[in-house]
Amino acid sequence: MSEEEMMEEGGGVVKKFLYLNRKAPIGTVYALESLEVVLIGAAFEQDVSMIFMDDGVYQIKKGQDTKGVEMKNFSATYRALEMYDVEKLYVSKESMDERGLTADDLVVDVEVLDAAQLADLMDDQDVILSF
Amino acid sequence: MKFGIQVNEGPYQHQASDTAYQFAKAALEKGHEIYRVFFYHDGVNNATRLTTPPQDDRHIVNRWSELAEKHNVDLVVCVAAAQRRGIADADEAKRNGKDADNIAPGFRISGLGQLIEAGIQCDRLVVFGD
């Protein structure tokens, strides 16, 4: 990466930020509040990636219906991430397999990585925010 | 080294806040800088001065306030997470029409941008939680 690419407008530093999402979308507030961080963080024009693993893969599952439990259904918001230039979305192959999910079950386009590939991806980051 | 710290869990319920405090204290004693501690999720409950633990237990909230005073550490509470959980300073209480505020000394309420900024400015951002 060149020196110019490292600097965003205004002379700020661009770091590699990874949001690691490990919790189911409802049941606890972690998923909802972590999505809020991603959306606010987009204004800082950092190099953002997201990983969905463990029960976190359910955050982006199609066909969520939360009416019965009176919780907010925010799954559509993940489809808007593209507009925030958050386009690097990864899911854990093992987490998907354990839950009988495939990429077709998800509301967004993702890259499926195995544990070793995810470890490499994490190793490559400057900042990892784990939720 | 310049550290940012994120605390994602409430006091007493979960050890994350204790561990974050011990980490911050040890880092300061070793001569490192704590750029900011950011309280998110139930972590915002670390910031209420109404906390009253039994006398033979540690006072988690006062411990953070004392650390802030002694070492000039910036303790930031996420405004959106705080509103959901009833943590307010005088301005927030007035703005939302509440009859009281409850923020402890040394804490301030601000936005999530403060967390991202800590990630950008610090050598390491350390997250404490599940």
Residue type, A92: S
Measured between CB atoms, does B112 come within 8 Å of chain A?
yes
CATH topology of domain A3-130: Hypothetical Protein Ychn; Chain: A, (3.40.1260)
What are the C-alpha distances in Å from A86 to residues A83, A123, B36, B38, B104? 7, 19, 26, 23, 36
CB contact under 8 A, B112 and A40: yes
**Does A8 score more than 90 pLDDT?**
no
Other CB atoms within a 10 A radius of the CB of residue B117 amount to 20
Residues of B recognised as catalytic: 78
pLDDT tens figures, A77-112: 999 999 999 999 999 999 999 999 999 999 999 999
| Percent of chain B residues topping a pLDDT of 90 | 99
On the question of pLDDT at A9 being above 60, the answer is no
Domain B2-128 has CATH 1.20.1250.20: no
B53 near A CB under 8 A: no
List, in order, residues 6 or more apart from B99 with CB less than 8 Å away: B93
Q: Does A74 touch chain B (CB under 8 A)?
A: no
Domain coordinates in residue numbering, chain B: 2-128
pLDDT at A1: 43
Cβ–Cβ of B116/A44 closer than 8 Å? yes
What pLDDT was estimated at residue A3? 47
Give SS3 for A77. Answer: helix
Identify which of B129, B130, B123 has the alpha carbon closest to the alpha carbon of residue B34: B123
Which tokens hold the place of B59? 């006072």
pLDDT digits (tens, 9 = 90+) for A23-76: 999 999 999 999 999 999 999 999 999 999 999 999 999 999 999 999 999 999
Q: Is A54 exposed, middle or buried (CB count within 10 Å of its CB: 0-12, 13-18, 19+)? A: middle
| pLDDT value, residue B130 | 85
Q: Is A28 helix (H, G, I), strand (E, B) or coil?
A: coil
Nearest to B112 among A30, A37, A130 (CB): A37
Contact A128 B8 (CB under 8 A): no
According to DSSP, the β-strands at A111-113 and A16-21 are: unpaired
How do residues B39-88 score in pLDDT, each as one tens digit? 999 999 999 999 999 999 999 999 999 999 999 999 999 999 999 999 99
- Determine the average pLDDT of the residues in B31-36: 98
Cross-chain residue pair A40–B41, CB shorter than 8 Å: no
Whether residue B26 is predicted with pLDDT greater than 50 in this model: the reply is yes
Give the pLDDT score at B95.
96
Q: What is the mean pLDDT of residues A103-127?
A: 98
Instruction: Give yes or no for B24 touching A (CB within 8 A).
Output: no
